[in-house]
Chain A
Amino acid sequence: EDQVTQSPEALRLQEGESSSLNCSYTVSGLRGLFWYRQDPGKGPEFLFTLYSAGEEKEKERLKATLTKKESFLHITAPKPEDSATYLCAVRSDNYGQNFVFGPGTRLSVLP
């Protein structure tokens, strides 16, 4: 059975303190790994899609990387507005068109 876990569950950073969030997956035939940001009371907002090990994507202070077993979301010099829950999801051969989501990491960036 496909599984997606995320760590840490919650993370508190000072403004400017860089860190990384982890998404570990166990799937048969990865067809894509997706990162989303979710603000309280809102739907998830798409950030990145990664398809193969070694792939990297960047957007402002965020960079996502992918290996055969995990993905990292690196946050460089975060600002308070980066505070949100970050979700990862995978598509795999087992689930066809469906996505399996991880539980998320709640990030708080303090000024």
Chain B
Amino acid sequence: GAGVSQSPSNKVTEKGKDVELRCDPISGHTALYWYRQRLGQGLEFLIYFQGNSAPDKSGLPSDRFSAERTGESVSTLTIQRTQQEDSAVYLCASSSSQVMKTQYFGPGTRLLVL
């Protein structure tokens, strides 16, 4: 694929509902990152996957947030019992070589919790 893709591009949900966000990384990229970006703010790290290693979940803000990745392909970020403060853009990035570690970002999923 040409780049990182994310779906849906926009999601409106009601408080208390669960949402699932999807990320398709660049083919062959072993590392995958999820970030949250609140309006007018910088990127906040959520979780990192590297190959088959255990993910680094140190950035997840609460146990309502979880993520999975199948091998070196698609990842899903799940937010359970959404709250209004979860409203943000959720960005996914992937990277390849150990040396460069340059991240390439997807367009993001804009989540609005009413």
* Chain A residues within 8 Å of B, Cβ to Cβ: 31-32, 34, 36, 41-46, 49, 87, 89, 91, 96-104
- Contact between A104 and B42, CB atoms less than 8 A apart: yes
B9 to chain A, nearest CB (A): 9
Residues of B in contact, count (CB < 8 Å): 25
- Contact between B31 and A97, CB atoms less than 8 A apart: yes
* Chain B residues within 8 Å of A, Cβ to Cβ: 4, 31, 33, 35, 41-45, 48, 50, 56, 58-59, 91, 93, 100-108
Known: A49-B102, A98-B56. Is A44-B43 also a contact (CB below 8 A)?
Answer: yes
Known: A45-B105, A46-B102, A96-B56. Is A101-B43 also a contact (CB below 8 A)?
Answer: yes
- Contact between B100 and A103, CB atoms less than 8 A apart: no
Known: A42-B108, A46-B103, A91-B101. Is A97-B48 also a contact (CB below 8 A)?
Answer: yes
A62 to chain B, nearest CB (A): 16
- Contact between B31 and A43, CB atoms less than 8 A apart: no
- Contact between A49 and B100, CB atoms less than 8 A apart: yes
Residue of B nearest to A89 (CB): B43
B112 to chain A, nearest CB (A): 14
